[in-house]
Amino acid sequence: MKAVIPVAGFGTRMLPATKAIPKEMLTVADKPLIQYIVEECIAAGIKDIILVNHSFKTAIVNHFNTAFELESLLKNTGKLDLLAEVRRVCPPGVNLIQVYQDQANGLGQAILCTRPVIGNEPFAVLLPDVLINEYACHLATDNLAKMLQCFQQTHRSQIMVERVPCNEVSKYGIADCGAQKAEAGYNMPMYNIVEKPSIHEAPSDLAVVGRYVLSANIWPLLAKTAPGIGGEIQLTDAIAALIKHEAVDAFVINGYSHDCGNKLGYMKTFIEYSLRHEDYGAELKRWLQQAMK
């Protein structure tokens, strides 16, 4: 199965940092955000990864391209650990495919740009400003891999959801699963989904948090999805249409997500991931405790 990562957005919520640097290239601890997402795909067994890009965001392509000059410099100066690290960014056998989105017209339209590459096949979507907490029990791998496994067994699309505070529902796609309650890491049928409802209209507090495994039947529905909220073509609206044709599941996140698409969320994520860094986490924690006094 192929995965789609839409990276064409301007990252306006992160300005001025994102004026010349793609938001996907902002680092969390010591790696760019996009690298976490690509590693999540690889860990779940996905090797064909499509980036829906914009021509001004060349830094993302460069990050994954082979850096011949840098590699020979590291080799010639005996910095073999660094050389191995640079080579791990895009391991052999992983294909990163670029597709360009000529006009920004919503997540749905970004996904639609990949239709000629994916064909009439199911696919996964990972939104690059959401990190799935991977530390507590290797969750990033477990979540996406389990969503893929559920899809393979049932052919039902899997949409990752997480409970959010009621006053935040208008920032997300919100799922209606009636009175059902699935455990973390399990799924339940979704009856409807609404993009960014008001607190009064929201059918629940189950927010869609940026991981989808979608059946190929979404394609024709996506192609005829009219602009929705914000005047943009919303993936959520195409999923709502899909639910009318076939069963779709909400997959309850095992762990928690980090929203790195806004400044506070990004800062929190940076600190949390840095505190867990293998080499520097313990020292950073001591320093932080001192600095907080």
Which residues here bind ligand G1P, judged by CB under 6 A? 107, 127, 130, 172-173, 195, 207-210, 234, 236, 261
What's the closest the beta carbon of residue 225 comes to ligand G1P, in angstroms? 12
Nearer to ligand G1P, 270 or 280 (CB): 270
Q: Are strands 2-6 and 48-53 parallel, antiparallel or unpaired?
A: parallel
What's the closest the beta carbon of residue 13 comes to ligand G1P, in angstroms? 9
Nearer to ligand G1P, 26 or 107 (CB): 107
In the chain, which ranges are continuous DSSP H helix? 33-43, 58-64, 68-76, 80-88, 107-112, 115-118, 139-154, 218-223, 235-245, 263-275, 281-292
Going from the C-alpha of 61 to that of each of 8, 13, 21, 159, the distances in angstroms are: 12, 22, 12, 28
What's the closest the beta carbon of residue 114 comes to ligand G1P, in angstroms? 16
What's the closest the beta carbon of residue 239 comes to ligand G1P, in angstroms? 9
Among residues 47, 213, 43, the alpha carbon closest in space to that of 142 is found at 43
Nearer to ligand G1P, 60 or 130 (CB): 130
Nearer to ligand G1P, 75 or 171 (CB): 171
Nearer to ligand G1P, 33 or 90 (CB): 33
Backbone angles phi, psi at 214, to 5 degrees: -115, 140
Q: Are strands 192-195 and 173-176 parallel, antiparallel or unpaired?
A: antiparallel
What's the closest the beta carbon of residue 275 comes to ligand G1P, in angstroms? 23
